[in-house]
Amino acid sequence: MSDKLSKFLDFLKYEKNASPHTISGYRRDLLQFKNYLKNKKLNWEQADNIVIRGFLAVLYEKKVKKSTSSRKLAAIRSFYQFCIQRKWMADNPAKVVATPKQEKTVPSFLTEEEMAEFLDFPCSGKVLDLRDKAMLELLYASGIRVSELIGLNLEDLNFEERLIRVKGKGKKERMIPFGKTAEESLQIYISRRMMINKGKIDEEALFLNYRGQRLSTRSVERTVSFCIQRSAVRRKISPHSLRHSFASHLLSRGADLRVIQELLGHESLATTQKYTHLDLRHLLEVYKKSHPRS
């Protein structure tokens, strides 16, 4: 790995407090671009906007998703901007390259009825089933990301005020409320948590696997997939769908968009606005109640 790239990744880690997932993605994207330059017998300094457009054209020919191509371009832009700040380069060739136009997609989410069915599955009473119940209830009750969920420690829970302390992107902390149903499920799970792996557990982590270690993102995905199969919902639902559902249901019940933005931990209100998809029936009801000439 080149010295410039190593220093850029260190900058992301130590100065920007980027998550390991983000750093890994930047490393992968920039190494791919570096290999493209190598095949063209070019280095970082010799690349111009035409070269970068050629790189994007190759991605297009390989049918890479536009969202993925946009992410790679963003990584290249950030790297060159870092090089300019360090006075290693005079110009950012990626700044004049247009971002690939994105397909507009509506986030997948469950209706309130579907969510109720999804969460009200029979629980065997086994400690790992109790963990799954608490985990899913908390995801829907708080709208936190899966990465934030698995990063939770016991000390982050405040049952007295029903709040959790979440470390979001860039290690920014925020306090998120959760409801009584989630509280009950969490209390039951925590009371049995020491039964996992005969008590040989990570004492800090809230959610544990059967070996007593902090739960992984993949484990959460498997749990959601399994619970969906047991329900009557016949659509592809991911853990992130619970976050979408949380935002959609709050919005449909009249919550302010800026409040939802704060709860979700979004930097920009524009990011939150993708959750404003309401079903036609609800829109018509609100219109008839609210419009003076309806």
Mark whether 36 is an active-site residue: no
**Which residue among the candidates 162, 169, 192, 277 is catalytic per the annotation?**
169
pLDDT at 92: 95
Domain with CATH 1.10.443.10 in the chain: 112-287
Is 3-85 a domain of CATH 3.40.640.10? no
Give the predicted TM-score (pTM) of the model: 0.62
278 near 248, Cβ under 8 Å? yes
pLDDT at 280: 45
pLDDT at 106: 54
Mark whether 282 is an active-site residue: no
pLDDT at 86: 93
pLDDT at 285: 59
Mark whether 211 is an active-site residue: no
pLDDT at 50: 94
**Which residue among the candidates 16, 240, 274, 277 is catalytic per the annotation?**
240
Mark whether 169 is an active-site residue: yes
The Cα–Cα gap between 100 and 253 comes to 35
The Cα–Cα gap between 123 and 144 comes to 23
pLDDT at 294: 39
Region label for 18, one of left (φ > 0), alpha (ψ between -120 and 50) or beta (otherwise): beta
244 near 275, Cβ under 8 Å? yes
CATH assignment of 112-287, among 1.10.443.10, 2.20.25.90, 2.60.40.10, 3.40.50.2000: 1.10.443.10
pLDDT at 232: 62
Residues in the chain with pLDDT < 70? 1, 102-107, 122, 170, 232-234, 269-294
Domain with CATH 1.10.150.130 in the chain: 3-85
pLDDT at 105: 58
Mark whether 266 is an active-site residue: yes
Mark whether 274 is an active-site residue: no
pLDDT at 200: 94
The Cα–Cα gap between 165 and 250 comes to 20
Residue 293 CA: distances (Å) to CA of 213, 283, 287, 288, 289? 60, 15, 9, 8, 10
**Which residue among the candidates 131, 145, 167, 214 is catalytic per the annotation?**
145
pLDDT at 274: 65
**Which residue among the candidates 167, 193, 243, 244 is catalytic per the annotation?**
243
